[in-house]
Amino acid sequence: MNKYFRFATALAALTLAAGASAATSPPTKNVVLVHGAFADGSGWMAVAKILEKDGFKVSVAQPPETSLEDDVAATNRTIDAMGGPVVLVGHSYGGIIITAAGNNAHVKSLVYVAAFQPDTGESLGSLSAAKPPASSGPKPSPDGFLYLDRADFHADFCADLPAPQADFMALSQVGLSVKAAGAPATTPAWKNKPSFAIVATNDRAINPDLERSMYKRAGSTVTELASSHVAYISHPAEVAAIIERAAR
């Protein structure tokens, strides 16, 4: 009886320990990637492949860039479809999107990749005016959208990419509405959730000093990469590593 009792007690303890371990183990990590102005989600391909290889479930949001409201709604749809906690990542104007969409209850942490990280009342336009970038800047279309001149696109947006790739990105760029560029942030999610940020030190589309000042103000965990504005394309391994750090 004593042997049986000891065996049963040990078995019960092992069962309880296994249950407790399962209950406290971290959930499967989900990552939502958000593109910025003048780009689309296809630029995230290399980062997404690395994350998937490392066991993450990845979705790429496709904000239409028609208004901040529309872009946040599109991102929230993607977040909600993941079915669990999410690391939300934004590039460039995508940082303004995730600053709002990051208030979604599923979002665990935020990653800003050469991105705007606005405080309440700030917009892409106001931040850029405060510390202008080195680029020649976007041009307005007659119907209220901004675009980058194809002649300047390579140097100003993605100088560390091969010319053929840059040329195709220039001709396939997605215009950003003036309405979206002027929309102010209201309730920044980074004030309540951990954030990580990447400064692209050779960025000509956003002033690197603006990136540094925004990220310092927010208390983000900062990494600097010697990259053009499109660090997620030219340095996918480094960017994926920071996203995985945010997931942990």
Helices 68-81 and 94-101: crossing angle in degrees, nearest 10, is 60
Task: Give yes or no: 92 in active site.
Answer: yes
What is the CB neighbour count within 10 angstroms for residue 226?
12
Q: Which residue in 59, 92, 123, 234 is the catalytic one?
A: 92
Whether the CA torsion 206, 208, 213, 217 is positive or negative: it is positive
Residue type, 26: P
What gap in Å lies between CA 36 and CA 93, rounded to an integer?
4
**DSSP 8-state code for residue 32:** E
Task: List the 176-177 sheet strands across, edge first.
Answer: 139-140, 145-147, 176-177
Per the structure block, which two tokens stand in for 125?
A: 């336009």
What gap in Å lies between CA 115 and CA 215, rounded to an integer?
10
What gap in Å lies between CA 142 and CA 137, rounded to an integer?
17
Q: Which of 168, 185, 186 is nearest to 233 (CA)?
A: 168
**Among all residues, which ones are annotated catalytic?**
92
